[in-house]
Structure 1
């Protein structure tokens, strides 16, 4: 299902899992989008912030990610590059554990669950695998995250999401631009 172009900006309030807020800005480019955002939160009594810059190609495949965090312990930075075919480099080094991943998923971000939905267009009832390069909020460690999305209805606005590594599942609700509106237990869209 084709989505409308994203708005210039969107924001989410993080709920239950952490207290926090995320703001993202969407910049159309000739060859895709650049998404610039920031998340701040308190989780388990610890404060942190994460800033990100994500470049996507015209198919919404992640091509590069620059991410930085700040905690009371200091700052970290990470740079990820992808060839768009599932091959990655993390801080300049090959990352074979990410082979086959086409998306980035930031632990700190509700927005990044938008990326695979724009790439995928399964029929209602179809379940698709969308493994992602998963970046942790506190130390920016990059792991592989297996995840599945099942399109629930023909309108393309509801997907059942499963992340076996976290024994987590929920029904995600999206708007006409394919941006997350409701991520149960994680975040809700505020604008």
Structure 2
């Protein structure tokens, strides 16, 4: 399975869980991509903004993520670096709790759900667990997100569909992607507007 190249830009409106917006820009880099984006939101009466620059290699495996967060409590910044085989550093220090993760997953972002779909290239009927380096929106805490699972189901015309589950959050839904492998509909969280 192959995907079309990503567009120069994409945007999502966040729904239900928060009110907000995300805008992202894709730039080719060393056979992979540099992805620059920003998410702003109001969630449970708290405002926050998260800026990110994420580098992925040609297989869409995360290699580096620079994340800056702002809220009424102040500004924070964190940098994640990965060797592409599942070893990570957070702000320069080894992060063995992330061993085996190949993707960064930003709590604030619908876009980062593109990484495992591109990287795995699952056939219809196939599924895979996808542990990730999970970055919280409010304070940029980096945690291991285990038990995520993606399973590809039959396409709906040009749209690719995946059953997604994150049992640690008690959450499951059907994600719909476009021909570029970007989320169009993330029930309860976001919808693509561009």
Q: Classify the TM-score, shorter chain.
A: over 0.9
TM-score for both structures, normalised by structure 1 = 0.98
Report the alpha carbon displacement of residue 87 of structure 1 after superposing the two structures with TM. 0.2
In structure 1, distance between residues paired with 2:163 and 2:84 = 25
Matched ranges for 1:168-183 at <5 A: 168-183=171-186
What are the within-5 Å matches in structure 2 for residues 45-60 of structure 1?
45-60=45-60
Q: Given that residues 159 and 176 in structure 2 are in contact (C-alpha distance below 8 angstroms), is that contact kept between their aligned partners in structure 1?
A: no
- CA deviation map 1:156-185 (0-9, x unaligned): 710000001101000000000000000000
**Partner residue, 2:141:** 141
SS of aligned partner of 2:173: strand
Q: TM-score, normalised by structure 2?
A: 0.96
The answer to whether the aligner puts 1:80 opposite 2:80 as a matched pair is yes
Partner of 1:123: 123
Q: How many residues align?
A: 191
Q: Is the CA contact (8 Å cut-off) linking 2:22 and 2:39 kept in structure 1?
A: yes
Structure 2 residue aligned with 1:34? 34
User: 2:68 — aligned with what?
Assistant: 68
Partners of 2:15 and 2:189 within 8 A in 1:
yes
The Cα offsets for residues 78-105 of structure 1, whole Å up to 9 and x where unpaired, read as: 0000000000000011111100000000
Partner of 1:104 in structure 2?
A: 104
Runs (4+) of structure 1 exceeding 3 A deviation are none
List runs of 5+ in structure 2 lacking aligned partners: none
Unpaired segments of 5 or more residues in structure 1?
none
Tell me what 2:7 maps to: 7
